[in-house]
Amino acid sequence: MNTATMSASISLHAQAAQLPSASAELQGVSVAFGALPVLRGLDWQLLPGQVVGLLGRNGVGKTTLLEALLGLREADAGRITLFGQPVAALDDAARARIGYVPQRSDLFGEFTAAQLLSYFRSFYPRWNEAKVEGLMSRWAIERDKPIARLSGGQQQRLSIIRALAHEPELLVLDEPVASLDPAGRRDFLRELVEQVLDRSTTVVFSTHILSDLERVAFNVAFMSGGRVALQAPLDELIDETRALTGTPEALRAAGGTALSRTPLAGGRERWLVRDAAAPAGLDVQPVSLEDLFMELTQP
């Protein structure tokens, strides 16, 4: 199934579900480490059925944002709600609707995989044992081996299984495929797409592997300056955005929305512009996801 087909299927599925309220909403969220601000009055909304790839340079605050979203890091200012509830006061039913895969494994190393899954199964009434067994078998994870003795990739797969097992409505993944080989990444991405198609799950994940993001992220959010600078459907963004080069006067005449502006030699400038015309005198080039990443996540 190609990206366009999957995107259309998920969009139709989400519309049919008729879920009007946001899965997550952040308003004016700020977080600082001492005197260093990381998130600066950040506003963001995640709707049911969205798959959002979170992009940003190293150190921009992606992990801080995801931790604040889930209430794992207290915000200094602002408001965060999940399923309409304040994140600091989620009830047990709301917590059971969330799945999380952190950047670093937080598994209990002395447990076996079977013991770990049995432990977490007790907290989730909607635990899907058939899904767990299928993934454990497909990903060849030894049930009775101590987790500390599993490879890094196997530990990451186990963390993903734990997050998917209770069929969450909001799935948050921080660099989920960083330690997986290409085959493991493909398996995970396929499982992720199936999860969204089957349940209209809201998914947000950060990654540095743009090719993986292009396979499953139907929306992309670019972080810069402590805020989400832009979020949009990936296909639309690529189709509607062009790199225009020319004089500032000619660029302004092109109209559209300027996403970035880069001065060049000789008084010319290069703009990334969405929904622009292409008047004479401008050099017009298509853009890739990598182009957008480089331009929209500049420090």
Domain parsing of the chain, residue ranges: 3-225, 236-296
111, 147 contact by CB (below 8 A): yes
Output the average pLDDT for the chain: 87
77-81, 87-91, 204-208: the lowest-pLDDT one: 204-208
146, 102 contact by CB (below 8 A): no
Q: What percent of the chain has pLDDT over 90?
A: 66
Rounded Cα gap, residues 49 and 147, in angstroms: 32
130, 162 contact by CB (below 8 A): no
| CATH level 2 (architecture), domain 3-225 | 3-Layer(aba) Sandwich (3.40)
Q: What is the pLDDT of residue 6?
A: 43
Q: What is the pLDDT of residue 43?
A: 97
Q: Is the pLDDT of residue 281 over 70?
A: yes
Rounded to 5°, the CA angle 216-291-28 comes to: 70
The predicted-structure confidence for 149-176, as pLDDT tens digits, reads as follows: 998 888 988 998 999 999 999 999 998 8
Identify the band that residue 18 occupies on the pLDDT scale cut at 50, 70 and 90: very low
Q: Is the pLDDT of residue 212 over 50?
A: yes
Q: What percent of the chain has pLDDT over 70?
A: 92
Long-range contacts of 133-138, Cβ-Cβ distance < 8 Å, separation of 24 or more:
135/160, 135/161, 135/164, 135/191, 136/161, 138/187
Identify the band that residue 94 occupies on the pLDDT scale cut at 50, 70 and 90: very high
Q: What is the pLDDT of residue 296?
A: 92
Q: Residue 65 is encoded by which pair of tokens?
A: 């944002």
10-24, 52-66, 223-237: the lowest-pLDDT one: 10-24
Identify the band that residue 90 occupies on the pLDDT scale cut at 50, 70 and 90: very high
pTM of the model: 0.86
Q: Is the pLDDT of residue 21 over 80?
A: no
- The mean per-residue pLDDT over the stretch 98-125 comes to 89
- The mean per-residue pLDDT over the stretch 232-246 comes to 94
270-279 b/e (C-beta count within 10 Å ≥ 16 → b): bbbbbebeee
Identify the band that residue 233 occupies on the pLDDT scale cut at 50, 70 and 90: very high
Rounded Cα gap, residues 147 and 133, in angstroms: 17
Where helices occur in the chain by DSSP H, the ranges are 3-17, 62-69, 92-95, 113-121, 129-138, 152-164, 182-199, 210-216, 234-240, 248-253, 289-296
Rounded Cα gap, residues 86 and 71, in angstroms: 9
Q: What is the pLDDT of residue 16?
A: 38
- In three-state secondary structure terms, 279 is coil
Q: Residue 162 is encoded by which pair of tokens?
A: 């734990």
The predicted-structure confidence for 46-83, as pLDDT tens digits, reads as follows: 999 888 999 999 899 999 999 999 999 999 999 999 99
